[in-house]
């Protein structure tokens, strides 16, 4: 084999390795993007409740606003961890249908958020967003969906704590940031524009898209 042919083979191998590295990088990027989109979808409940709380507060009050955003962020991070911990003990028993379960969870949560986004709600609320008891209750209520997402993480093959740590931190951070943004938005913009925003609608759409993508990947590309 002459030198020219050898160089051609090496170039082809180098090109194949480069293409593989690019594909791997893109896959990792998409995986990270999905986590951020999932976090945004989950945080839409927090965002909507925070807007309502901001409407009640009427003016910037940093201490109760920070406390509410912190509670929402912590519970949104804690609930997926609890769901993942519980489901990890038996997820290996249903590996053949784990993608269907993950899809069903995301589709249900997304569909419910979309349905609730079309309900007409009065802008007048009778809760106190500065009360720790109220904030604690709302933090639990808005994080129940995150518990189900944690269960879906186990079914998607996340087996160790180091792998779940990054997603739950992202979910907690996004929930905190969007809760704070929702509070400011509610104070500044009021109810009229908040209704038109339909945050829960877009959150539901995001969750359903991710669920469909998971199902398609497992059925046709695994």
Mean of the pLDDT values across residues 39-64?
86
The confidence score (pLDDT) of residue 123 equals 56
The confidence score (pLDDT) of residue 169 equals 93
Least Cα distance to 112 among 148, 81, 87, 78 occurs for 148
Angstrom distance (rounded) from CA 58 to CA 163: 41
pTM beyond 0.85:
no
User: Which pLDDT tens digit goes with each residue over 54-84?
Assistant: 888 888 889 989 999 999 999 999 999 998 8
Q: Are 186 and 57 in contact (CB under 8 A)?
A: yes
Structure tokens at 162: 């180091």
User: Which pLDDT tens digit goes with each residue over 140-160?
Assistant: 888 888 888 888 888 777 778
The confidence score (pLDDT) of residue 76 equals 94
Angstrom distance (rounded) from CA 171 to CA 155: 18
User: Which pLDDT tens digit goes with each residue over 158-171?
Assistant: 778 888 888 899 99
| Domain ranges (residues) in the chain | 3-220
Angstrom distance (rounded) from CA 19 to CA 76: 38
Q: What is the mean pLDDT of the chain?
A: 76
The confidence score (pLDDT) of residue 20 equals 39
């Amino acid at each position: 084999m002459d030198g020219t042919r050898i160089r051609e083979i090496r170039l082809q191998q180098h090109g194949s390795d480069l293409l593989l590295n690019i594909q791997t990088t893109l896959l990792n990027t998409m995986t990270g993007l999905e986590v951020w989109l999932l976090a945004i979808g989950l945080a839409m409940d927090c965002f909507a409740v925070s807007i309502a709380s901001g409407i009640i507060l009427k003016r910037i009050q940093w201490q109760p606003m920070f406390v509410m955003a912190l509670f929402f962020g912590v519970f949104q991070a804690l609930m997926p961890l609890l769901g993942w911990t519980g489901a990890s003990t038996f997820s290996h028993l249903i590996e053949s249908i784990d993608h269907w379960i993950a899809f069903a969870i995301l589709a249900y949560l997304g569909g419910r958020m979309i349905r609730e986004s079309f309900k007409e709600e009065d802008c007048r609320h009778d809760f106190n967003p500065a009360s720790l008891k109220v904030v604690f209750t709302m933090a639990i209520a808005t994080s129940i969906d995150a518990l189900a997402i944690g269960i879906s993480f186990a079914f998607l093959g996340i087996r160790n704590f180091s792998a779940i740590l990054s997603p739950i931190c992202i979910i907690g951070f996004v929930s905190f940031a969007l809760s704070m943004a929702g509070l400011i938005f509610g104070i500044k913009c009021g109810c009229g524009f908040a209704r038109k925003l339909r945050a829960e609608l877009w959150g539901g759409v995001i969750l359903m898209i991710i669920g469909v993508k998971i199902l398609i990947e497992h059925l046709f590309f695994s």
